[in-house]
Amino acid sequence: MQFIDGSIDGVLWIPLKKFHDARGWLCELYRNDELQPEHVPAMSYLSVTEAGIARGPHEHVDQTDYFCFLGPSNFKMYLWDIRPSSRTYQVKQVDVVGADKPMALIVPPGVVHAYKNVGEVAGLVVNCPNRLYKGHGRKEAVDEIRHEERADSLFVLD
């Protein structure tokens, strides 16, 4: 499979605005009155990724991720469209988000994704996916196809 650079259909990049005052800052991560029903979160989690470390690439069969990158580091975000029915099939999209460019990112099922902390400090990532991890009561299989452990993976991070 050969990928070309471009924008991927169905991936939404939503700039996040920090509201600063003397106490610090506040940022709305999402509002359900601004989301399509299929993107409304079912749960949320916060992760820390150390400088120079990547997470992914992986994809979901049914889950849509809603990532929020605010800092204190920057992340290089990688996306590959492997949905045969998509008009952007075989498109790769890469951008840097985080402290210098606060961003929410909605990644639909079938879009392989990964991110790498390209800053010098550990960075925080919030994810508010539209599905529960392992389903209700944690009784289902994890909706994830992992590519990072495959030596022959098509999804290479630079």
> Phi and psi of 38, rounded to 5°?
-75, -10
Q: Given a cut of 90, is residue 151 above it in pLDDT? A: no
Asked if 126 and 102 count as a contact pair (C-beta separation under 8 A), the reply is: no
- The Cα 57–Cα 149 span in angstroms is 9
Could you tell me if residue 151 is inside a domain?
no
* Predicted confidence (pLDDT) per residue in 29-84, tens digit: 999 999 999 999 999 999 999 999 999 999 999 999 999 999 999 999 999 999 99
Could you tell me if residue 120 is inside a domain?
yes
* Predicted confidence (pLDDT) per residue in 5-37, tens digit: 999 999 999 999 999 999 999 999 999 999 999
Could you tell me if residue 154 is inside a domain?
no
* pTM of the predicted protein model: 0.94
How many folded domains does the chain comprise?
Answer: 1
Q: 């997470």: which residue's tokens?
A: 55
What integer pLDDT is reported at residue 150 of this predicted model? Answer: 87
What 3-state class would DSSP assign to 65?
Answer: strand
Could you tell me if residue 155 is inside a domain?
no
Q: Average per-residue pLDDT in the chain?
A: 96
Could you tell me if residue 61 is inside a domain?
yes
Q: Taking CA 19 as the corner, what is the angle to CA 13 and CA 25, rounded to the nearest 5 degrees?
A: 110
Structural domain harbouring 67: 4-19+26-146
CATH of the domain at 12: 2.60.120.10
